[in-house]
Amino acid sequence: MIPNVLASIVFFLYILSNKFYFLHNVLSKLNICKYLFYIFIIYILFKFQNYNLEDSPSYKFNKDLNNIIDYCQFCSHCDKETYFSYNYGLKVLCYMFANNLGKIYDDFDKNENLNEKRCNDLVYWWYNNLYYTYQKRCTTTNCSEIVKFKNVWEKIIASKKNYENRLCKNFLDDLSPFEKYEKSKEVSDYCANYEYIEKKLEEKSVYCSNYYHYLTRSKDLYKETVSNCHTDGRKYCLNFDKCHSYNPEKLLQHEKCKLIEQTENDRIELEQKEEYFIPCPLDHDCVPGYIAKMSITYSDYRFITLIVLSIWAIILSFFFLYKFTPFGSFLNNILRKKNIIRKDIREEEFHETLDSDIEDTSINFNHREYRITYNHD
């Protein structure tokens, strides 16, 4: 929300700087026009080069692999392996491996493609942590660390004899070097994401902007690897039998993606124009003469006319509100109440003054001295 507002402000200022001569002069002398345009271009780049695959099955499972351990039904098998008692770091990795194996067991999906991919992702995750986090790089699958993990894996499978497939037994039986799982991980991610994007584009409320750059950046991967993933005995696509036909160009031809392509072309054109922009020197006027004549300045009669018309419009607006809306009666009621209150106060003051004068008169009458003259006969 905030980046959108900032971008709107930047774009608005840039447009104003081209419309109003005095504002353009100020911004040009401070060399701000160029920077405003740069900020807007950077925002466009940031806005449209991101893609969102957070809801895809592959991304969700990758995130789940690194989640904290809540309940682990198979972690007790790690405690039974004495080798891990002296290697605490590997024991933690064993706990996480057993916990993730339990997630596959509990959430075993009817989609065979997704099940095999999850097993491959688990082995890749385990290898990757063993090699790069714990620095236990093994040249063969027979090194001591891998053997100990295989022992735990076998014990977990033995505890659930009737559900071997749900515990990735086929991967345990044919454990291969790390590089194979790494390549299968990359290719199967693309296969799963392609199917996910294809379904999402059919929804009315979904736009291609979330996936456009992912598809364009996957062209080389498809051309070099995915298109040949089932040839020469390679099985990088796992059970995604049709993945070799998942050409990203098919989705990019979707009408929603064509709109994003046009936006992208406009962005590239803006970048090319930006290369030819030259900062305005401080001792030069960057605005051409014909633009200056078209612009509005304080000394222009149009500016004064605009101010007068604006004031007149405000007066007419208030008059309209007073005459033809409830605002007028509301204002009259307030003024009437004030007049009544003011009148009542004056009457009270008058009566108080009158009462006071009457009291004073009676008091003065009682205490007044009278001179009485008598006539003597």
Angle between helices 301-324 and 326-366 (to 10 degrees): 70
pTM: 0.61
Over residues 319-355, the pLDDT tens digits come to 877 777 777 777 777 877 777 777 766 666 656 665 5
* Distance set, CA 329 to CA 44, 138, 335 (Å): 51, 88, 10
pLDDT band of 316, cuts 50, 70, 90 = confident
* 301 CB neighbour count, 10 Å cutoff: 8
116, exposed or middle or buried, with CB in 10 Å at 0-12, 13-18, 19+? Answer: buried
CA distance 81 to 75: 11
- Position of tokens 């020197």? 281
Q: How far is CA 182 from the centre of its chain?
A: 31
Residue 31, phi-psi category: left (phi > 0), alpha (psi -120 to 50), beta (remainder): left
pLDDT at 357: 54
Instruction: Give the residue from 331, 355, 335 showing the smallest Cα distance to 343.
Output: 335
Over residues 76-133, the pLDDT tens digits come to 999 999 888 888 889 999 999 999 999 999 887 767 778 889 999 999 999 999 888 8
Bigger pLDDT: 287 vs 192: 192
CA distance 285 to 289: 9
Over residues 29-84, the pLDDT tens digits come to 444 444 555 454 444 444 444 456 888 888 889 999 988 888 899 999 999 998 88
Q: Average pLDDT in the 221-243 region?
A: 85
Joined tokens for residue 126: 């385990």
Provide, rounded to the nearest whole percent, the portion of the chain with pLDDT above 90. Answer: 24
pLDDT at 348: 65
Give the CA diameter of the chain: 166
- Each domain of the chain, given as residue ranges in start order, spans 2-51+264-274, 57-260, 296-348
